[in-house]
Amino acid sequence: MNASAYAMVAEPVSADEAPSLWTAFVSGREEGLRQRLIGRYMEFARMLAARMYARRTFLELEFDDFLQYARLGLMEAVDRYDPGQGARFETFAALRINGAILSGIGSYSEVQEQVAARRRVLAERIDGILQPAPRRDDPAALFAHLADLAIGLAVGFALEGTGMVRDGDEPSIEQAYDGIELRQLRARLREMLAGLGERQRKVLSWHYLEQRGFDEIAAHLGVSRSRVSQLHTDGLATLRRQWRLRDVVDWSF
């Protein structure tokens, strides 16, 4: 149930009734009284949400999102308020409602940034293993090119150890392997990773195991981004040569 619905369902509480309602709620903590108090101050929470929404700089959220965060702050304030302390409830609740809105915005923004960062890493990963496709009139070479690309992606995702980037209902590589087989695959790949040259090992380890982008790796190594991409491509190629992936996954059709 959203914030507006709570305000409509709860029986209206007048200003004169509020003190006795608070006294009854504090003594018994009954849920019905709690909901009436939430309904009593929902318009106050809506006003604070509208004020912050009007001043927003983060445009990804709708007003209903602000209102929902405000309601969560209001619920916390109702649960924590002690009328015996002498402060008006609105004064006590305003800080918590505004804080809940800011916290909700921050959490949403952080999640979106993480999703965007993982998308960038995935794009870099794909760019790093893409090679110019052979001519279309050479089906065998084209098939080998596509198979090589698929193997490169499979090696990369297995190395990462966390599956494919999950955004909504995207599939996970873990759906393609039994859990034990996938763990064995990752363990074997990590052992092979230790046998790579120093820079190839660092690039693959930082990119897949620590989720660092190519730009960050390039800055740390003091090389160009294109050099990092090349080390990434060469490292995956070395892994594919050292270990016949077709021994684990049958790529014959």
State the average pLDDT over residues 21-37: 92
The DSSP H or E segment spanning 182 is helix 179-193
pLDDT of 50:
95
Domain ranges of the chain: 3-113, 130-247
Chosen CATH of 3-113 out of 3.10.129.10, 1.10.1740.10, 3.20.20.410, 1.25.40.10: 1.10.1740.10
Mean pLDDT, the chain, as a whole number?
75
Q: Does residue 82 have a pLDDT over 60?
A: yes
Worst-scoring range by mean pLDDT, 28-32, 184-188, 202-206? 184-188
Return the axis-axis angle of helices 63-80 and 89-129, rounded to nearest 10°: 130
Q: Helix, strand, coil: what percent of the chain each, to 5?
A: 75, 0, 25
pLDDT band at 3 (very low <50, low <70, confident <90, very high): very low
Burial class (CB in 10 A: 0-12, 13-18, 19+), 58: exposed
Looking at CATH, the fold of the domain delimited by 130-247 is given as Butyryl-CoA Dehydrogenase, subunit A; domain 3 (1.20.140)
State the average pLDDT over residues 201-205: 84
Q: What are phi and psi of 218, to 5 degrees?
A: -60, -45
pLDDT of 76:
94
Q: What is the pLDDT of residues 223-243, one digit of tens each?
A: 888 888 888 878 877 777 766
- 48-52, 110-114, 173-177, range with greatest mean pLDDT: 48-52
